[in-house]
Amino acid sequence: MTQEVRVRFAPSPTGFLHIGGLRTALFNWFFARHCGGTFILRIEDTDRERSTEDSIQEILEGFRWLGLDWDELYRQTERQEIYVRYAERLLDEQKVYRCYCTPEELQEMRKRAEAEKRPPGYDGRCRDRKEPLALPFALRIKAPREGSTVIKDLLRGPVTFENSQLDDLIILRSDKTPTYNFAVVVDDVEMRVTHVIRGDDHLANTPRQDLIYRALGWEPPEFAHVSMILGTDKKRLSKRHGATSVQEYRHLGFLPEALINYLIRLGWSHGDQEIFSPAELKKLFGLDSVGTSPAIFDPEKLVWVNAQHMNRLSPQTLIPLLKPFVAEEGLKIPEEDENHLTRVIACLLERSRTLKELAHSIRYFYRSDFGYEEKGAKKFLTAETRPRLQKLRQKFLALTEFSPEAVHAAFQEIVQEEGIKLISVAQPARLAATGGTVSPPITEVLSLLGREETVNRLDRAISHIESGD
RNA sequence: GGCCCUAUCGUCUAGUGGCCUAGGACGCCGCCCUCUCAAGGCGGAAACACGGGUUCGACUCCCGUUGGGGCCA
């Protein structure tokens, strides 16, 4: 009795993959995977003016990066004859009719309606024309003028529209291209889509599509209209709110599973849980706990979610992910030294929220040509701290091993001997070793740098002090 | 403008008539830990848009107002 779930995501390849679009893709994909159903990717490229091959590739690339696979892939441009065939069938059945009205006439009609304060829809003047004319024509569907259409929405319950709001909409233009609503319905019918999960910007279109379903003699599928994502000003999310494409977030150093986690939590929840792996989502996601009110996109929380996911990863698995970001920093890390890099990552990881941050914070481990942060140097690289650095240097040279513990012991000795606080030698050392005042525990950092490099950096700092700032 | 959707802390949300003096999370503030920064721990400020009903009882149900979003132009 239970039929197989078939859902689709139908992007227009007129630009990059938008995170709002991704969110509805996610609802579809996880719903399909949860139910063991089929996920269809349908490229709606009928707008040849604005559709580009690059854009299609970027969408597919985005899906691959996110780990979202598809079971079937279609392009509407390859399906033109199907739409024409269905349209002709409807013409034969007299459910649609030829309309010869020119754009000028329609314009005129609209103006008059406006002047008379009537709804601006088509008045149906070609509806009862008996003989075909030798003129270009569009195909219009006969819409009911009375009664109402009830759309059953899985998330919102029944939504009622008055049919008086509908007019005889065009399904096929005079150039034989299908209109949006017609192509969508034909495709959904042909592809046996069982659940249409999409943005609620399509809700008001649904009665028109319902009309087409009925004309075609099909029961409409289940609908679930998901609310949209807004920017912080409660306006529709757009470029001026910052990054809006999946590609951008990838380059900003976000993990695919973090982006997925954050986006799907916008409008969906599972008790108090915040962090979900894709595998968990497959298990838990359901339409029953999807909300209906619009959500505001909060980049801050995305960053936090990303940090959570990053810290669930081992340093080893992070290495390949980090590669492009390390390259962007202009760093060269010796290939053979993976074990060392693993340790470096381990201590930097909990201080980084994105791959980009992590790659950036790694830099002083692999290059020593940094300058000193001005304020820090003024405070910690002074005549007073110079002898401490020198003493540190001596002690380091005397150590039998350069482990964090040994380095720490050396620091402690100085603290004892000088009667100072650890911070008054740790910070100067930090400046010397990293150029800044912030880093993982200095003993860890120095040990990772190695004795030779540490001594070199101490020397450089000492001569920096001697050169008189 | 007409129609449709929607309304719990600044934000994401839990809540499905009594469990709510409304819970969690991000962010913010304070304290602890501490060589810096994080992470972590503890604590704090912070919300049921408004007005009517329904009910013994409403955050929860109904109506309206207002705000926000969308579609059609």
Whole-number pLDDT of residue A1: 43
Helix (H) or strand (E) holding A411, with range, is: helix A404-418
CB A43 within 8 A of CB A9: no
Residue bearing tokens 């910052």? A242
Residue A455's identity, in one-letter code, is V
CA atoms within 13 A on the CB side of A61: 14
Query: CA angle, corner A64, sides to A61 and A66, nearest 5?
Result: 110
**Shortest CA to C1' contact from A155: nucleotide:** B5
Give the pLDDT of chain A (469 residues) as one tens digit per residue: 457 999 999 999 998 999 999 999 999 999 999 999 999 999 999 888 889 999 999 999 999 999 999 999 999 999 999 999 999 999 999 999 999 988 887 777 777 776 666 666 777 778 888 778 889 999 999 999 899 999 999 999 999 999 988 889 999 999 999 999 999 999 999 999 999 999 999 999 999 999 999 999 999 999 999 999 999 998 888 878 888 999 999 999 999 999 999 999 999 999 999 999 999 999 999 999 999 999 999 999 999 999 999 999 999 999 999 999 999 999 988 887 789 999 999 999 999 999 999 999 999 999 999 999 999 999 999 999 999 999 999 999 999 999 999 999 999 999 999 999 999 999 999 999 999 999 999 999 999 999 999 999 999 999 999 887 5
In A 100-129, which Cβ lie closer than 7 Å to strand B?
110, 119-121
φ/ψ (deg, to 5) at A137: -140, 155
Token reading at A318? 């992070």
**Spatial separation of the C-alpha atoms in residues A78 and A59, rounded to whole Å:** 18
In A 424-443, which Cβ lie closer than 7 Å to strand B?
426-427, 430, 437-443
Token reading at A346? 């381990």
ipTM score over 0.85, yes or no: yes
CA A399 to each of CA A405, A426, A458: distance values in angstroms, whole numbers, following the listed order? 11, 18, 16
CB atoms within 10 A of CB A234: 8
**Shortest CA to C1' contact from A352: nucleotide:** B38
Q: In what order do the strands lie in the sheet with A170-172?
A: A96-99, A138-141, A170-172
Whole-number pLDDT of residue A111: 73
Residue bearing tokens 């000193």? A372
Between CA A110 and C1' B51 the distance (Å) reads 40
**Spatial separation of the C-alpha atoms in residues A97 and A102, rounded to whole Å:** 15
| Residues 6+ away with beta carbon under 8 Å from A113 | A119, A120, A121, A123
**pTM of the prediction?**
0.94
Nearest to A309 by CA among A329, A280, A288: A280
Class of residue A104 by CB neighbours under 10 A (exposed 0-12, middle 13-18, buried 19+):
exposed
Does residue A239 carry a catalytic annotation? yes
Between CA A26 and C1' B70 the distance (Å) reads 21
**Spatial separation of the C-alpha atoms in residues A135 and A141, rounded to whole Å:** 19
Nearest to A372 by CA among A331, A431, A329: A431
Token reading at A228? 């949209």
Whole-number pLDDT of residue A118: 63
Residue A76's identity, in one-letter code, is Q
Helix (H/G/I), strand (E/B), else coil: A251:
helix
Which residue's C-alpha is at the least distance from the C1' of B68? A234
Nearest to A166 by CA among A201, A141, A188: A141
Token reading at A408? 């720490």
Residue bearing tokens 């007129």? A14
Among the listed residues A130, A239, A356, A378, the single catalytic one is A239
Residue A16's identity, in one-letter code, is F
Whole-number pLDDT of residue A119: 64
Q: Is the CB of A257 under 7 A from strand B?
A: no
Q: State the sign of the Cα–Cα–Cα–Cα dihedral A114, A116, A118, A124.
A: negative
**Spatial separation of the C-alpha atoms in residues A330 and A299, rounded to whole Å:** 27
Residue bearing tokens 């894709």? A278
Instruction: Quote the DSSP letter at residue A3.
Output: P
